Chains A and B, each alone.
Chain A
Amino acid sequence: MALYSEKVMDHFRNPRNVGVIEDADGVGEVGNAKCGDIMKMYLKIEDDVVTDVKFETFGCGSAIASSSMATELIKGKPVADAMKLTNKAVAEALDGLPAYKMHCSVLAEEAIQSALEDYYEKHPEKKP
């Protein structure tokens, strides 16, 4: 029995959407280095759709995999759907996380929420 599911290892080994969007419409950063996890999400939004998303993560294997999966789950989706992304959905898409690593999926949800909040602050007219 491995520490992580095959899905987690796949996203850890080959993280999707790694990097930075220089002219992002929304940027969110959550966590702190003291606790060992920081996630930063960059969103590109056009016509209420998340057209591009990139992430940077300082953290363990499941933190990297959760970030990667979260970006996959919202890329190309309407902003309204991205708003509804839950940590549970991230963990389920990864075929589960060990109980003591569930906070990594929570962090991924929060990072996306934070990036969307940043987007709404810059574009109050878009706020639902």
Chain B
Amino acid sequence: MRIYADNAATTKPSRAAINAMLPFLEEEYGNPSSLYALGQRAKEALEQAREEIAAVIRATPKEIFFTSGGSEADNQAILSAAEIGRKAGKRRIISAAFEHHAVLHTLNRLEKDGFDVTLLDVHENGVVRPAELEAAIRGDTCLVTVMTANNEIGTLQPIRELGAICKKRGVPFHTDAVQAVGHLPVDVDADNIDMLSASAHKFHGPKGVGFLYARNGVRLSNLIEGGAQERGKRAGTENVPAIMGMAAALKESASRMAEDAARMGALRDRLIAGLQEIPHSALNGDAAKRLPGNVNFCFEGIEGEGLLLHLDDRGICASSGSACTSGSLEPSHVLLAIGRAHDVAHGSLRLTIGEDATEEEIDYIIRNVKEVVEYLRGFSPVWRDLTSGKAQFIL
């Protein structure tokens, strides 16, 4: 059996996305900035895609800026707000400890440049508390950026409430919604969002394309100079085929979002219940407030990479927050942010199922994870110390 359970890393491009892209690779290859008909047809298609994308998140087309993906959108949103803040003498940014590195590393850069960054606690359940945001906002705050759904543990944040607090205090609110767009309803007005980042390949679109939503009136700074594309805010000839694929993928995802979320949520809970039978294991992140496809566990006494490699041998694609999979000695900052000890964080497994997952596949995953965890524990000196009483179990 072959099961792709790493949809938080990337998703398989949908047939609709591929079909939407092909004409713009084969016949309609014009540059949207060219004035002849071939170019203008590409321009029209581009604007049609912009309208379709805007409609899904209840924005207006001129508030959508195409980017190379979620990371670029995060960078541009944060650096733009910082630039506005700098001019107004406001140099404080509030974010959360478990943000994606596209956000955290951009904030690090701003800290070196004299900004103060406050990271909100995400607590044991991986959810930011609105009251703590309220308390953290000060007169010199120029931006609040909190992700809509965490990419590792899948926890959903109270975006609407956080946005309402920002609105009341007059602080721009950005959300990295890369894991949420196309999977859960997003309404930038109702959710009080000023800026939002999204990435096409997380919702069955192509890689290398995404968008930044910036509310009318939010002044963006350029990351890339050199042309009038994207209303002068993002130079470079638009990736028309990818943008067409993104729009088609998003439209399709949005049209079946409710049914998909309900079915995937039930399968997710079946997977969680099955893995919870493994002794000394724990679900990471809130059990209810989480993405419909996300399951993330820690298994005490083993290391995640070995688990992934054995699962790959058994046809299951998954990921881990262990240090060995990150190329550093530190395990996932997300797992550390929810209070997992280093030892336990190394033994994490993220399974992110797709819309086409079946009960049979879920049961196959459960069976194989159980077997591999037991096998690896069988020659783990850590597990020996835990079971012999030499060390204390954490989970």
Contact = CB atoms under 8 A, between A and B. Distances in A.
Interface stretch (B284-292, B351-359, B375-383): B375-383
A35 B384 contact: no
Main secondary structure of the interface of B (DSSP, over half): helix
B383 A33 contact: no
A101 B309 CA distance: 15
Given A58-B302, A61-B309, A36 B324 contact: yes
Interface string A17-49: 011100000000100011111111000000000
A28 B343 CA distance: 20
A29 to B, nearest CB: 6
Contacts of B306: 12, 59-61, 64
A21 to B, nearest CB: 13
A57 B305 contact: no
B322 A57 contact: no
Contacts of B322: 36, 60
B313 interface: yes
Interface string B365-390: 00000000000000111111000000
A12 to B, nearest CB: 6
Given A13-B313, A56-B381, A57-B380, A33 B346 contact: yes
A57 B379 contact: yes
Contacts of B302: 58
B52 interface: no
Contact of B381 (A34, A35, A57): A57
A35 B343 CA distance: 7
Contact of B343 (A12, A13, A33, A39): A33
B305 A34 contact: no
A37 B306 CA distance: 11
9 contacts: A18-B379, A35-B342, A37-B303, A40-B381, A56-B380, A58-B383, A60-B305, A61-B324, A101-B324
